[in-house]
Amino acid sequence: MRDRIGREYVLVYNSSKNAVQADSMHIGGETYPLIRRSPDEFEFTEIVEVQRHG
């Protein structure tokens, strides 16, 4: 179905907790974070487009 999909996205959860367990996944030769420490005191989710080369 990949040839029929227009775009893919990854949801990245940014946690404000100090003891967050980082996690990531590999798609098309690239590594995308799934969970990471927030750069500030806020908790939020980002939508990141998967980049397909070729």
Q: What's the CA gap between 13 and 51, in Å, rounded?
A: 19
For 11, the token pair is 């949801």
What pLDDT score does 54 carry?
59
Q: What is the pLDDT of residues 1-54, one digit of tens each?
A: 667 778 889 999 999 998 999 999 999 889 999 999 999 999 999 999 998 775
What pLDDT score does 7 carry?
85
- Per the domain annotation, does 26 fall within a domain? yes
**Residue 42 and residue 18 in contact, taking contact as beta carbons nearer than 8 Å:** no
- Per the domain annotation, does 6 fall within a domain? yes
List the domain range (segments joined by +) for residue 40.
2-49
What pLDDT score does 52 carry?
77
Question: Element (H or E) spanning 39, and its range?
Answer: none
- Per the domain annotation, does 13 fall within a domain? yes
Q: What is the largest CA-CA distance in the chain?
A: 41
- Per the domain annotation, does 44 fall within a domain? yes
- Per the domain annotation, does 25 fall within a domain? yes
- Per the domain annotation, does 54 fall within a domain? no
Domains held by the chain: number: 1
What is the number of H-type helices and E-type strands within the chain? 0, 4
Q: Give the pTM.
A: 0.79
